[in-house]
Amino acid sequence: MPDPSPAVRHDALVGELRAIRERGLLRLRDVRLPALAAAATALGLPVGDDLLPSSITRLLGEVVERLDGSLATATAYTLGVAPGTRDWPAHDRRQRAAQVYSVSVERFRKSHERMLLDNVAQEILALCAKETSEAEEPEPAAPPLGSTSVVFDLPGRGRSTGVGGGRITVLCRPVETLRDVDVVVSSENVYLQMSKTYQSTLSGTLRNAAARWDGAGALTDDVLQRELQEWLRRRGRLGAAVAPGTVVPTGSGELAAQGIRRVYHAAVAIPRPRSHGYAIEPGAVVRAVRQAFALLRHERDQYDPPLRSLCFPLFGAGRGGLALETSWSYLWAGLEAELGARDVPDVYLLTRRDEVMRTVSDALRGLGAHPVQSP
């Protein structure tokens, strides 16, 4: 990939970010943004006339995701990246951002806003530099068996034994492309606050894909987070943590069009004090896995046709910071007992990273499982 630095200059980025702040994300087609287009190109995002606005929105969302605390919140409001603010007038966004720092709008405009936009430009340059560096590294090995999905038969638990389903399907693909899996399990924190819709986590991607948006790109129904809030409100738990390992069911919103009928939210991530990291306890993962199976069995016959498939992520392998082998060991500790049941549903394991798929596939082979046909 070519060095992006000649086309992506800090001063040009700041100028274009200022234009976005003034015009808003819904009017990106009305303004030339060559520096941001060059940054999107450097990061491998599509830059055609119809796709550039969404690519820039995604880029700004990724930048905000890298920030912390008040800086992240004020930046999200300033640029209209915060959920529900994409169609806000510039003055309203500036006023809300000023409130984050408890300063007047005028003081924010003269000081804080300049600092924010300068910082966003720096973060974009850092992302471009990182992408260029990684592009020079060797290509990763291909996924196992040259496929994005592999079915494994487990020893002693095959369908011919009459005990359990005996199979696990490992999928390597973005969750938003998943189809015809009845229940998808999402990893959440113990406050049941999902990742923002613009974040690339499993939680954020599911939230975005399930949400309803109007023709102008404004959020009209944040389906998953709304239903989680309703669940907490009914139990008098708004603002309070639930026990690690708790699983809460919601509908699937717009994902229903893809054959996904339920989302189970597993509260396994415990925020670390004074940081943006999380702790993942093995007991919480085991409880979440068992609760997910129990919940599916409870809900199964309430649907026509009955619920029959359940898809898990590797808990903690993303922002939880667990090593892949550790994340797998936690998940397997919960799965192993459930896979021996007679009424086990079809089980899927989902990742979007080739190295995770290889790790899981190798671990299953080490347990004596053998791959069969792709689904």
- 336 found inside a domain: yes
pLDDT at residue 235, rounded to an integer:
92
Parallel/antiparallel/unpaired status of strands 262-271 and 278-280: antiparallel
Q: Is residue 2 part of a domain?
A: no
Q: Does 3 map to a domain?
A: no
CA distances from 202 to 98, 194, 209, 214, 241 (A): 31, 9, 10, 23, 20
What DSSP string describes 22-57?
HH-GGGGGGS--HHHHHHHHHTT---STTTHHHHHH
Pair 263, 186: CB distance under 8 Å? yes
44 and 91 fall within a common domain = yes
Given CA atoms 328, 334, 340, 345 in this order, what sign does their dihedral have? negative
**What pLDDT is attached to residue 142?**
39
Asked whether residue 92 is assigned to any structural domain, the reply reads yes
Question: 283 and 349 share a domain?
Answer: yes
Q: Are residues 16 and 131 in the same domain?
A: yes
Predicted pLDDT at 158: 41
In a domain, 35, yes or no: yes
Which residue, 135, 153, 187, sits at the end of a domain? 135
| Same structural domain, 183 and 326 | yes
| Residues 211 and 314 grouped into a single domain | yes
Task: Tell me the C-alpha distance between 218 and 307, whole Å.
Answer: 32
Are 188 and 227 part of one and the same domain?
yes
Q: Are residues 256 and 290 in the same domain?
A: yes
Cα dihedral 14, 61, 176, 194, rounded to 10, equals 180
Is the Cβ–Cβ distance between 29 and 50 less than 8 Å? no
> Are 281 and 254 in contact, with CB atoms under 8 Å apart?
no
Q: Are residues 235 and 329 in the same domain?
A: yes
Task: Judge whether 4 lies within some domain.
Answer: no
Q: Are residues 46 and 71 in the same domain?
A: yes
Provide the residue range defining the domain that includes 54.
Answer: 10-135
At 239, which CATH number?
3.40.220.10
Same structural domain, 176 and 127? no
Answer yes or no: are the C-beta atoms of 227 and 206 closer than 8 Å.
no
- Answer whether 183's CB lies under 8 Å from 264's CB: yes
Final residue of a domain: which of 135, 153, 175? 135
d(CA 230, CA 224): 10
Residues 45 and 119 both lie in one domain? yes
How many structural domains is the chain composed of? 2
Residue 57 is predicted with a pLDDT of 87
Helix (H) and strand (E) counts in the chain:
12, 11
Per-block mean pLDDT, blocks of 10 residues, the chain (375 long): 54 91 86 87 76 85 81 90 88 92 90 89 84 47 52 62 61 88 94 86 90 84 94 91 94 94 94 74 91 94 93 83 83 85 85 85 85 63
* 151 and 263 fall within a common domain: yes
Query: Is 67 domain-assigned?
Result: yes
pLDDT at residue 320, as a whole number: 66
Look at residues 135, 155, 185 and tell me which one is the last residue of a structural domain: 135
Q: Is residue 164 part of a domain?
A: yes
